Every structure is written in C-alpha cells, then in structure tokens.
Chains A and B, each alone.
Chain A
Amino acid sequence: MKAPLVDLHRLQFSYGMHETLINLESWQLQEGEQLLVSGPSGCGKSTLLALIAGLMLAPQGAVKLLGTDLASLSAAQRDRFRADHIGVVFQQFNLIPYLSALDNMVLACRLSSRRRQAFQSLTLMRKAAAEMAASLDLEASAIERPVTQLSIGQQQRVAAVRALLGGPALLLADEPSSALDAARESQLIDLLSQQCRRQGTALILVSHHEALEKHVDRHWRMAA
C-alpha cells in the first residue's frame, strides 16, 4: 500500500483553556483522493485545514504530509512546504485587489520555487493559467480585468486556478462556494473536482452543504 498523502496520528488541538477541539487517533488521505468535510460551525473544520496546511502546530500528535512530519520543519521550511505542495481556496478575500486576474493566478506559482520549475518561463506560466481558466469556464476577456470587477463565481474560479497551477499535491478548499447560489455552487465544485482529477491533486473540501458529496470520493461528518 502506498504511503498516504496526509497522515494524522494522535492529533489533539484546543484553543487555550477551552475543551479539546480536535481529537483524532488516526486519519489518512490518499493521493488523488477527494474528501468532503462537513459539520456544524465551530466543530473545527477550518482548524483542521490550518493544521494540515502547517499554519498552526499541534502541541500533541503528528501531522505528516508526503511522509514529512510538519513539526520537524522550521517555520520557514513549513512556509516553503506549503507553497510547494498545497493550494488553498477560501470563502472570500481570495485575491489581491491590485493585481489582474491573470497575475493573481500565477502568484502562488511564483512564490513557490518547486511549482515555478514546472514552467520554463513566466509567459508559459501565464499561458498555462489561461488554459486552465478556460477549462474552468472562465472567458478570456474576464482574465485580463482587475479582479474587483469580477463576480464572486468568477473570483472563486480564479482562486481555483491559482491554487492548482503548477500541480500541487493537495488542494484545501474552505467553503469556496458558500456565497454562491445552489446551481452555481454545484457547477463550481464539479469543475474543481474534475480539474483535480485531471491533475491527480487530492482535495479536501470543507462545506456545510452536504449535497456536495456527490462530487467527491469520501464524506466525513465531523462531530462538534
């Protein structure tokens, strides 16, 4: 059996003096696997994402990504690891307001040396971004505009391209479509899921809409 992409072992996390928020004995995610994490607010979904992404360190337990224990890396190394292997899409405020959509899309790639290596030059990077945007149903005219002029759905797709460009191992999506209506939401998640499958990127989708489980491989309901 191949090593899992994400391997959580005896993970415990709590904020300050509150009760333990996350308490996992063992949890894995395989490569290319797509997972929906749902649950009521405050159950620790976003915290889990933060721990997997290396933004926070758990005092107890191990978080292993691609066989590397995140706690064994320094803060700078964790930053670099995150840039190299993880793409992130948020619910809102995904984009830098003073850059165009295309610039936003290539941003994560430019910040990661590993992902940058996938392209020979910046121009090729931009071309690939435009292609991926097209496959996510973003028109070419939308790409050149400043991002403040795009609709929410378009912005989320731009964020998706940004997260997926360069082929990261994992995509973390924290309620990406909660601001959209049901039809558009379904469409967006469908596109996202298909692109991930094409690239072989694993996906952890956090949302309170359980109906989205039809797009993913696994559904995990987190308890409060």
Chain B
Amino acid sequence: MSTDTGAWQPNSMRTRGAFGQTATLVFELASKSLWHRRIALSLLVLAMSLSCALLFFIERLRIDMKTSFAQSVSGTDLLVGPKGHPAQLLLSTVFHLGEPRDALPFSSLQWLADLPSVAWTVPISLGDSHGPYRVIGTQSQFFEHIRTGEAEPLRFTQGKAFSGLWELVVGASVAKQLGYKLDASIVLEHGLPSEESTSGAQGGPRGFGSSTSHDDKPFRVVGVLAPTGTALDRSLLVSLESIEALHIGWQAGAPIPGLRLSEDMIRKFDLSPKQISAVYVGLKQRSLLFRTQRQIETSGPLPMTAAAPGLALADLWQLIGKAEAAFSLLAVVMLLVAMLGMGANLLASMRERERELALLRVLGARPWQIAALVLVEALLAASLALLVALSSLSSLLLIFKESLLTEAGLTMSAQWIRDDELPLMAAVYACAFVVSLLPAWRAYRISLQQGMLDR
C-alpha cells in the first residue's frame, strides 16, 4: 500500500456514501458502548420501561374505556327514569354503576308508549342480584330492541328469551364464570351485589335489610346470550312478573319469618309489575329527539328525566375529562423522571469517557460525530425500554384479557402498538433526545478541548 503523495484533495472528491458509513459506525460504537455498560444501565432501562408501560397503559385504558362505554348502548333514543341527573341515570341503568335511587310507577310506561313520537318502549327493573352479578327485570321485547356495539342485536348462543315466570336468561360472562348451562337451577337474591355472597346462602340476614337469598324460589335458565362486551354480559334477565313474584311475602327487604310459599301458590297472586327503574325508548324518527325529551320532562304524569345516551355520554366525558388529564400528566411526569435518570447517568459517564472521546477525536472523528454518539446511545436505550415496555404490556393484557372483561367489563386490545399510539412513541423518543442534549453537548466540548497532551 503506497502512500498518497499528491496534493490534498478538495472536499468534492470525497468518497461517495461517506455519510452512510459514518452513521453505521456511530451506531455500532453506540450499541457496543451501551452493551459495555449494561449492568449499570439495566436498572435505568428497567425504570424507563416501567414508566413507558404505565404511560401506554393509561392512554390505552382511557381510549378503550371510552370505546367500551360508547358501545354499550346503541339504537336507543332515550332513557327515561325518575328525576335526576341524566349521566347518573345512564351510569346506573346501562353500566350498572351506582344504585338506582328511585323508581317510576308502572303506569308511566303506558303514558310513554302512548306518545305519538315513540316507536317502542322497554321497561327495566333493577335492584336484585346474584352474587356479584345484577338481575334485570324486563319484558321479552328487550331482546328485540336493545342493541349494543354498532347497532348489533342481541344473540343467543344457547336457548332463547324468557317467556314466563321463573325463566332466566344469563349473560355470557355469568354463564362462563359460574358454569351455567340450559336448564340449570338458580337462586336469586334481593339487594345490590355483594362481594362474598354465594348462591344459596342459608344463614340469616346480616343486619337489617341486607342481602338474603330467595332460596325457596329457584329459576331455570332458558337462554344464554352471546358476549357483547358490555355490562349485559354480567347480568341475568328475568321477566318483570318474576321480580314481583320474588318479592311476594317480603317486608322491608327481608323475608317474613316462617313463610314458605310454593311456586304454584305464588302464581295465584297478582304479579303485575308495580314499579320500574327505567324505560328504554325508541322513537319513530331520530330527529324528534329534543321534542320528545322536552315533552316527557315537562308534561309527564310525574317528574321524570329523559336522557339521550349520546348526549349524556358526551357530558360524562367532559366531567371526567379533568381526571383523565391529571392521570395522563402523572404518567408523563413519571416518564420524564426516568428519562432524567438516564440523562444523569450519561452525563456522569462523560467524565469517565473523556479519554475514549479524546481518542476518537484524534483518530479523526469530528466533534459533532461524538455528540451524535451520545445522542444515539440515548435513543438506543429508549428503544430498548420501549420494546420491553410494549411487549410486556401486550403480554399482560393478553393474559388478563378474560379477567378484565369479567371483573371490570373492559375490553382492552392486546395489540403491541396501535396507530393512535404512534405519536406517543415519537414523544418518548423526543424526550430521550432532549434529555441527552446536555450530555451530548458536554461530549462535544470535551472532544474540542482534548489534545495529545493529557496522555
């Protein structure tokens, strides 16, 4: 190999592809340098991936929760209940959150059905429970008119709707968790779901008016619903008459001691429903919404609230909007903290690496390339953290998919990353970039000053 003794060549004669090759070199140096310091960095990467995972989880939870809520009721124009806040009516009726405080007399149902703009009505009665699951009393047209998701009707995986007394339809999660099949015999309770009650609790009431079992009136499963991804999956549906029959011989929420009535005897009583918790209403034309709403609220036989689900949800989102923002902010701050830790580590390592950087400089690396080395190290560490965070998040979501659905009624996608999360990923990289600017600048300054003399 002979030396080149010609005059020094001007810039334009430099080899092609120089930038690409230098970039590869910087990348290689950065990754090997990180690997060399892997023990010290592992804790940092762990901290970063934890905070990334939390950030992505919170964002995904927000969006999935909203989607889940938004898809809980479809095709219903109005939800009519006793006077109160529309959002509260929606929450207690559709999402089974919170207790229904008051009730409408059954006669109001007829008045509603008679309104000229109303096409159909479905009454529901809440208040009973079976373990942690709610019992809903309704009429058989519930299965015809109530839709979920994007106007999808309710489907049965087994059996059909109830048609008479003592007949029960169970939601998908109930059937799965409790293993109920067609013709199984169930016992129901009065009052709100409690955590520890079991079906068939024999013991006496705990205190006054608490959960007690109707163990003398068993129901029969005649249908199992397909999963809907809504609170319906965790519900049991019976006819309004069955609810009345359930409460025959009860006083103030507790059974009358010594009173045992057979099923046949109960049929003899007047089982027409007296009270309902709410009514789902469908209109002949959707643009009649405001008119009908006004009509129900101002000229009804008693004070009622007619909530439009779409509008009430929008109100709800605004209400919880601030809490959402606070959670997101918290997650972002956590990420910043972890990133700053990495930045501090990088900065501290600059002192140790003075010689190495000076050597690179002497060998021909330019100061900006050395700064780029530090930046690339930070970005690589961020990439690793993101990889760990996203893969563990999606694995965990995959594992707990079922429990999330049954416990919280929440469907969260276990995708590795979604389209709407890409900006978040970019933000993480931007954060790493910004945090590494100070160490990179230090590296730049060090490499400018180093000469051959310290050696």
Q: Is A53 an interface residue (CB 8 A)?
A: yes
- Write the B24-40 contact mask toward A (1 if CB under 8 angstroms, else 0): 01000100110111000
Q: Quick one: which of B21, B36, B363, B366 contacts A107, CB cutoff 8 A?
A: B363
Contacts of A98 in B (CB 8 A): 32-33, 35-37
Interface residues of A (CB under 8 A from B): 31, 46-47, 49-50, 53, 55-56, 66-68, 76, 79-85, 88, 90-99, 103, 107-108, 110-114, 116-118, 162, 166-169, 174, 199-201
Q: Is B14 an interface residue (CB 8 A)?
A: yes
A55 and B451 in contact (CB under 8 A), knowing A113-B15, A169-B4?
yes
Q: Do B453 and A116 have beta carbons less than 8 Å apart? A: no
Q: Do B453 and A46 have beta carbons less than 8 Å apart? A: yes
Q: Is B2 an interface residue (CB 8 A)?
A: yes
The count of chain B contact residues (Cβ–Cβ below 8 Å) is 34
Q: Do A169 and B5 have beta carbons less than 8 Å apart? A: yes
Contacts of B15 in A (CB 8 A): 113-114, 116-117
Q: Quick one: which of B3, B21, B33, B360 contacts A116, CB cutoff 8 A?
A: B21
Q: Quick one: which of B1, B359, B362 contacts A53, CB cutoff 8 A?
A: B362
CB-nearest residue of chain B to A90: B455
Q: Quick one: which of B18, B360, B453, B455 contacts A96, CB cutoff 8 A?
A: B360
Q: Quick one: which of A53, A83, A116 contacts B452, CB cutoff 8 A?
A: A53
Q: Do A93 and B359 have beta carbons less than 8 Å apart? A: yes
Assembled-state Cα–Cα distance A152/B343 (Å): 34
Q: Quick one: which of A93, A112, A118 contacts B1, CB cutoff 8 A?
A: A118
Which one of A85, A92, A107, A162 has the greatest number of beta carbons of chain B within 10 Å?
Answer: A107
Q: Is B356 an interface residue (CB 8 A)?
A: yes
Assembled-state Cα–Cα distance A162/B125 (Å): 85
Q: Is B355 an interface residue (CB 8 A)?
A: yes
Assembled-state Cα–Cα distance A117/B254 (Å): 94
Q: Do A96 and B452 have beta carbons less than 8 Å apart? A: no
Q: Do A111 and B365 have beta carbons less than 8 Å apart? A: yes
29 A-B pairs in the complex with CB atoms less than 8 angstroms apart = A31-B5, A49-B452, A50-B452, A55-B362, A67-B7, A67-B8, A79-B365, A83-B363, A90-B452, A93-B355, A93-B359, A96-B29, A96-B359, A96-B360, A97-B356, A98-B33, A99-B32, A107-B363, A110-B21, A110-B22, A111-B365, A113-B15, A114-B4, A162-B363, A166-B1, A167-B1, A199-B2, A199-B3, A200-B3
Q: Do A50 and B451 have beta carbons less than 8 Å apart? A: yes
Q: Do A108 and B452 have beta carbons less than 8 Å apart? A: no
Q: Do B452 and A174 have beta carbons less than 8 Å apart? A: yes
CB-nearest residue of chain B to A96: B356
A150 to chain B, nearest CB (A): 16
A88 and B362 in contact (CB under 8 A), knowing A47-B453, A50-B452, A99-B32?
yes
